[in-house]
Structure 1
Amino acid sequence: MNHININAHILSYQCTHNSSFFSSSTNQLPEPTIIKIHTKLPVKALHDSSWFRSTKTKISGNPGPPRSALFSLAYQESQYSLSGCSDWPWSWEPALSWKRAPSSRDKSPGNGTQDQTDTDRRVATARPAAAPEPPKVRHPPNILLLSSMGRSGSSFLGGLLNSQPGSFYIFEPLHSLEARRMLSDAVARETFTQIASCNFTGSLLSGLASEPDFAIRTPSAYSCKHTKKANQTCFDAKKLKQACDKLPIKIIKTIRTRVAWLEPLLRDPRANLLAIHLVRDPRASIISAIERDWNVRPERKCSELEDDLLSGLQLEKLLPGRYMTVRYEDLCEDPYKMARIIFSFLGYKTLPLSTLSFLEKSTAKSDGQTYGIRRDTSKQQQKWRQEITTEQLQGIEEACASAIAAVGFNLFADIGRARNLSVPLYDPAKASVFFPYYGGR
C-alpha cells in the first residue's frame, strides 16, 4: 500500500461561489494508493484499476464549520494529479511526498526488511501496463445517451438523435430491471450490448415485453399501428428483431447508468458505441422531479452527478472521441448550434434534413408531456427560477452547491436573486472544465 502526503496549492480559478480550485501532481506511483491531505484535513481516495477514482467528503478546518470538497486522482503521461474543488478560503504551500509500505517481497529470511531506497525508486519509475487500444468506431456508430438524474432533458435529446435516418430507439431499457432489483454495472453493460447487436433474449426481452409502449420507440418494431384498439398489445419479438436488424443506428437512452461503468462497454467492438452524457442544473432537474411526485434525494443525486462528471474527464482521456458531455441549457439556448456540435461528434458534416425538420417542429412549443420531445427551448432554460420556493432553493443549494458549480452555474442563496433574471445563471469559466465545446479544457 502506498501513501501520498499532499499539500495542494490554490489556483486563481474559482470553483463555486466561495470556493477554490486546486491542483497538484507527482511522478507515477504504483497502485493502490491512499491520498491524504497533509494538514488537519484527512481525505481518502482509493485508486482503482482504471487509474482513477474520486471522492466527495466532509472535512473540518480551523477556522470554520465542516466544509465540503471534491477530489479526483488522475493518471496521464506518467504523472498522477490531484485536483478538486473546496470551499475553504486559505492557501496551502505546495508540498508532495510519498512512501511505500513494506510488502512480503521485501523481507529476507535472515535480516527482516531490506533497505527500501532502491526498490522504491524502481517502483516509482515503473510504467503501468498500457491499456489496450480501443477498436475503431464503425460508422454509423450506435449511441448511448445517459443522464445522471431524471428530468434533465434526455427525452428531448433522445428525440433529436432519433431523427437520424435509420435509427432504432430503445427508451430506458433498465427501467424494469431496476424495478425487479436486477440492475448492476455488469447487467447494464450486457443489456446495452444486447441491444446494439439485436440480441433480444432473457431479462432484456422480458423487460421490453412488460412495457413495450414505454420502451420501444421505433414504429416498425410493432405488429400493429399506434391506432390500436384499447387493451390491444402490439408487441412482437420477431418484429422487434427484424426492425433492429434492418436499422443501422441503435440509440439507447437511460438515466440509470453511471459513467464509471462505461469503459469496458466503449471498448467492446460488439457494441460499437459512442456515449453522450447529458447534464442539467440540478436545481431545475430536482424541481421538475418534485412536481411529478418523484422520490428525490438531492444530496445523493448531486453526488452521483459529480462522480459522473469526474469519471467522464478520465474516460475522455482513455478513449478520446468516444465520450461527450453536453449541457441541457446550451441545447435550449441554441438548439441548432448544439445539434451541429453533437452530430459532428457522431461523424456528420452537416445535419440531416430529417434532423432539421425535427428541430423546426420540436423547439417552438412545449407539448407538456412528462417524456415529451416538443418544448419551447427559449423558455425552458431558466423556467425553474420562477417556480422554486425559498425552502427548496435553500435545501437544494446546500446539498448540491459543488455540483451546481461543476455544471457551470452560480448559486443564488436567496429567492430574490433567483427570481431576478438580470442576475446571471451562467459562469462560462466553470463550464469550460467539463464541456469541450467551450474550449479551455
Structure 2
Amino acid sequence: MRRSWPESVPSDQPRISAHRPPRTAVLIFTQMRSGSSFVGELFNQHPDVFYVFEPLWALKNHPNKTHDVSGAEQLRLLQGILACDFKNIVNVMPFYLNNKTFGASTKSKVLLKLCKSFKKLARNDSEPGLRCPIPEELVAEVLGRACRTRRFTVIKTIRLANISDLAPIERDLDLDLRVVHLVRDPRGTIASRLALRHHRKDNVTTFSDDDIDEGEVEGLCESILRNLKNATTVGHYTLLRFEDVAASPVEQMRKLHKSLGLPLHKAVYRWIRGNTNASGPGRAPFSTRRRSKERVGGWRFALSFAQVNMIQEKCRQTMSLLGYRHVRSAEELVDASIELY
C-alpha cells in the first residue's frame, strides 16, 4: 500500500490560505565567494520561504555520474524546485538531502525541520544513519507539500553560468520569477577565493603574486560583464552589490524584500542582529557569521598593490559598470578612510 504524508509532519508547516497571492520564485544568481551564503540567509530565516541551497551541486557530484550537468539538466532541476514540482527530479533529491559532506539539509531551515520530523518518526523501514530519512517514494510529495505551504521559493546558486538560461523558466512556467543578481568587487572575490584555498582568514593574510591566476580573474569579470549585459533576458531583475548588503544589511534587506513583494519578518531582523557583528578567530570559510563591515574591505590588507592593480586592469569595464573605484597607490590601498564603493 502506498504510504501517505505522515500527519505529524505538516503540523510544523504554515497553513495554506485560499486567498494567498500567486507564488513567487526567487533565484539568487552569483559567482563563488560573492557573499551569497550571507544573502541567502536573509531569505532562509523567513518563515514563508522555501529555501534551497545550491541544488545544482547534486548534479555534478551524484555518485552514479549519469546526470548531465549542462544547461538542460540544470534547468529541469531548477524548474522543478521553483515550481514546487519534485516528481521529475526525485532521483536527485535523496542524494542532495543525505550527503553528509555537503550537508544541504542543514543549510535550509525548512528542509532541516522536515528531516528532523522523519527522524523522530523512527520508521523501521528507513535506512539507519541517513541525515534525512524521507522514504524515496514520499520525497516528491513531502517536498512539494512543504514548498507549496510557503508563498515563496528561493534558490541560491553559484553553479549556473548564464543568466539567459533562466528565460525558459519564466516563459514555460506559471511563476512570478524574480532574479537577484548578486555581485561583489572582484578584488574581494579573488582574495576570498585565495583564503579558501589556503585555509586562511582573508582579512589578515597576504598572498604571493603567484597565488593569483590571471585567467581566473579574467573569467570572473567576463562572466559578470556578460550576465550584466544579458539581464534583459529575464523579466524581473534586481542587481545587488554584496558591499551594500554588508555595510547596511537592515536597510538593504528592507529594499530587497519590498522589491520582491516579500513581507518583512522579525526573524530576519533577529538573524541580522546576531550575525553581523561576530568576533573571534574560529570563523569557518563558509560561515555566515562575521563582522559584515570589516568583510567588505578585508581584501585591502590581503592583496598587494601589484595584485590589486592587475585585477583592476583586467576588470576595468566590469568594475566601472558596478561603481567600484580603483585604488591608485599602495598607500591608498590600505587607507581605510578612502571609500571605494
TM-score bracket for this pair, using the shorter chain length: 0.7 to 0.9
Answering whether residue 251 of structure 2 is matched by residue 337 of structure 1, we say yes
Offset of residue 371 of structure 1: 2.2
Name the stretch that deviates more: 326-335 or 350-359.
350-359
Distance 2:326 2:29 in 1: 25
1:232 maps to 2:115:
no
Q: Does 1:299 align with 2:218?
A: yes
The alignment status of 1:146 with 2:29, answered yes or no, reads yes
- Cα distance in 2 for residues equivalent to 1:418 and 1:300: 24
Larger fraction in strand: 1
Are the equivalent residues in 2 in contact too, given 1:142–1:251 (CA < 8 A)? Answer: yes
Structure 1 residues 241 and 359 mapped into 2: Cα distance closer, same or farther (>3 Å)?
Answer: farther
Q: Within 5 Å, which residues of 2 pair with 1:8-157? A: 139-147=22-30, 149-157=31-39
Aligned-residue offset at 1:287: 0.8
Give ranges in structure 1 of 5+ residues lacking alignment: 1-136, 226-230, 427-441
Deviation for aligned residue 1:168: 2.2
Amino acid at match of 1:160: L
Cα deviation for residue 244 of structure 1 reads: 4.0
Secondary structure in structure 2 of the residue aligned to 1:292:
helix
| Distance of aligned partners of 1:210 and 1:395 in 2 relative to their CA distance in 1, 3 Å threshold | farther
Cα separation, 2, equivalents of 1:241 and 1:327: 37
Contact 2:218 2:314 in 1 (8 A): yes
The one-character-per-residue Cα deviations of 1:371-424 (angstroms, maximum 9, x if unpaired) are 222222121121211111234223322322222222211112433221112333
* Cα shift at 1:285: 0.7
Which range moves more in the overlay, 163-172 or 209-218?
209-218
Letter in 2 for 1:365: A
Q: Does the 8 Å contact 2:86/2:144 carry over to 1?
A: no
Q: Deviations over 1:185-206 (max 9, x none)?
A: 2222211111122315355326
**What are the residue-to-residue correspondences of 1:18-417 with 2, within 5 Å?**
139-147=22-30, 149-179=31-61, 182-196=68-82, 197-199=84-86, 201=89, 204-205=92-93, 207-209=95-97, 211=99, 214-216=103-105, 217=108, 218-222=111-115, 223-224=118-119, 232-235=129-132, 236=134, 237=136, 238=138, 241-246=141-146, 247-248=149-150, 249-257=152-160, 258-293=162-197, 297-312=216-231, 314-315=232-233, 319=235, 322-348=236-262, 351-365=264-278, 368-417=283-332
Whole-Å Cα distance in 2 between the matches of residues 239 and 220 of structure 1?
14
Q: Using the alignment, how far apart are the partners of 1:360 and 1:301 within structure 2?
A: 32
1:340 aligns to what SS in structure 2? Answer: helix
How far apart, CA to CA, are the structure 2 residues paired with 1:171 and 1:244? Answer: 16
Letter of the 2:72 partner, please give it. Answer: A
Q: Deviations over 1:3-55 (max 9, x none)?
A: xxxxxxxxxxxxxxxxxxxxxxxxxxxxxxxxxxxxxxxxxxxxxxxxxxxxx
Q: C-alpha displacement at 1:183, in angstroms? A: 2.0
* TM-score, L = length of structure 1: 0.58
Could you say if the C-alpha distance between residues 221 and 198 of structure 1 is closer, same or farther in structure 2, counting changes exceeding 3 Å?
farther
Q: Return closer, same or farther for 1:403/1:163 CA change in 2, 3 Å cut-off.
A: same
Unaligned runs of 5+ in 2: 1-19, 121-127, 199-211
Q: Distance in 2 between matches of 1:270 and 1:338?
A: 28
Per-residue deviation at 1:292?
1.2
Q: CA distance change for structure 1 residues 415 and 240 in 2, over 3 Å: closer, same or farther?
A: farther
Distance 1:392 1:210, change over 3 A: farther
Q: Write the letter of the residue equivalent to 2:291.
A: D
Q: 1:223-242: CA deviations, max 9, x gaps?
A: 338xxxxx932222436741
Distance 1:335 1:193 in 2: 29
Partners of 1:240 and 1:371 in 2: CA distance: 29
Q: Quick one: distance in 2 between partners of 1:178 and 1:402?
A: 32
Give the total of aligned pairs: 278
Please state whether the residue corresponding to 2:178 is helix, strand or coil: strand
SS state at 2:197 partner: coil
SS of equivalent residue, structure 1 residue 368: coil
- How far apart, in 2, do the equivalents of 1:190 and 1:393 lie? 39
| TM-score normalised according to structure 2 size | 0.73
Q: Give the deviation of 1:220 after TM superposition.
A: 2.1
The root-mean-square deviation of aligned C-alpha atoms, in Å, is 2.7
In our comparison, the structure showing a higher alpha carbon Rg is 1
Q: For 1:352 and 1:299, how far apart are their aligned partners in 2? A: 40
Aligned-pair identity (%): 24
